[in-house]
Amino acid sequence: MTGVYTVSQINAYIRSIFVRDFALSNICIAGEVSNCKYHTAGHIYFTLKDDGAAISCVMFASNRSGLSFRIMDGQKLEVRGQVSVYEKNGTYQLYARSARLSGQGELYERFLMLKEELKEMGMFDEMYKKPIPAYAESIGIVTSPTGAAIQDICNIAGRRNPYTRLILYPALVQGEGAKEDICRGIRKLDAMGLDVIIVGRGGGSIEDLWAFNEEDVARAIFDADTPIVSAVGHETDFTIADFVADKRAPTPSAAAELCTFRYEDLERELSAGRDRLDSAIQRKLEGKRRALYNRRLRLLPHDPASVLKERRLRLRQLESGYEKALRLRLRDAKARKEAFAFDIYSAIRSKLTASRHGLELRAGRLDASSPLRRISGGYGYITGEDGKAIRSIREVQEGGTVRTRLRDGSFISTVNTVERPGRKINSKAERSYEKGKG
């Protein structure tokens, strides 16, 4: 069959028609957002609709850099982009390059201009941001006394810490005179020396929130000495007050949670801190005790009483040692004395024995030559009148007397005749001659 086309060919042809159409290549479409989905890749898929029709839209991640708000269902948007065909399923859709809230173009442009101007002035710099106190006891609030914001703040603050003091400055938050009223509230509460101030209101359109985009309000927040939390609208709403404030809270409820602390948490922290402090004190005391004990141990050797006690003990040890050594020396001396005495006794005994033997030998010799021994054998011992022994016949004179000693006594004899061997001397003259000759 001639003239038959594939689906791909038809879809490609239709797409080429869309691409060549100048009006469709850069068109702005207004409508209400529905079925909005954020893809994990960063793309945004949504539908724009009005009372009679709807068109699918996609904004790729590469085109989201100029988007200053989060697209949500129910918003009225003006979306600029290109209408083209998605060949895969044959549907056409708007490929969005930019988007803004409908009817708010002029206000939004004013918002961006003031934001850039204040940013260049340095009013958004982190160096000017004051820290929000962790344990605020008094909180100022600048908001409407009849709005939902004050009710949310009171409910959450009362639940978290019923002892927190809340001071409300009732102010207009939209319409004529709102910016002046907000500025007066900020200055009034700032002069009271509170811990923190919440400035905000509930959600609304850009017109409803415009009072918080005024330069006067921004300067009042910047000039305040008290830390200020901005809580304007919903999480997707951003105002100049959010950038100037010391802290931005996405909602008034979040601001209440940010500025108040849980009393129960504080009690637990105090209890835990008390326990840690007690433990630290105990550890410190224990360390001091150990240090004191160690110092006492180091000082103990230098204590006079200890030194005296040690020296007494040493003296007793020395005395005991000396006594023991003396006893040992005495015992050794006694043993040496006994040994010496024994040696002397043995030497004397040996000497006596030797002397006795020598004496016996000499006595035997003397006995052998003793006159008495000879006398006892039949011999006698003759002495003259003078008692001297007569050894020669020449010592005997006739008529003289001699004493003869025998074994059992002695007797005295008178010499009648003196004889020599071989001859007899008879005359006195002869004897004298013989004596002289001799």
225, pLDDT greater than 90: yes
So what's the pLDDT on residue 338? 80
- Judged by DSSP in three states, 36 sits in strand
Alpha-carbon distance of 358 to 363, in angstroms, equals 8
438, pLDDT greater than 60: no
Pairing type for strands 138-143 and 91-101 reads: unpaired
* Structure confidence by residue, pLDDT tens digits, 255-310: 999 999 888 887 888 888 899 999 999 999 999 999 988 887 787 767 777 777 77
Q: Model-level pTM greater than 0.75?
A: no
Domains of the chain: 7-103 (2.40.50.140), 108-125+136-263 (3.40.50.261), 375-437 (no CATH)
User: Kindly report the CA angle at 352 between 348 and 355, in degrees rounded to 5?
Assistant: 135
User: What burial class does residue 37 get, using C-beta atoms within 10 Å of its C-beta: 0-12 exposed, 13-18 middle, 19+ buried?
Assistant: exposed
Alpha-carbon distance of 342 to 385, in angstroms, equals 55
* Structure confidence by residue, pLDDT tens digits, 179-203: 999 999 999 999 999 999 999 998 8
Contact 241, 185 (CB under 8 A): no
Alpha-carbon distance of 2 to 349, in angstroms, equals 168
The rounded radius of gyration (Å) of the Cα atoms in the chain is: 75
* Structure confidence by residue, pLDDT tens digits, 10-29: 888 888 888 888 888 889 99
190 phi/psi in degrees, rounded to 5: -65, -35
So what's the pLDDT on residue 221? 95
User: Kindly report the CA angle at 58 between 52 and 61, in degrees rounded to 5?
Assistant: 155
Alpha-carbon distance of 210 to 175, in angstroms, equals 9
Alpha-carbon distance of 50 to 30, in angstroms, equals 8
Give the helix/strand (H/E) hosting 285. helix 263-299
Q: Measured in whole angstroms, how far is the alpha carbon of residue 328 from the centre of its chain?
A: 58
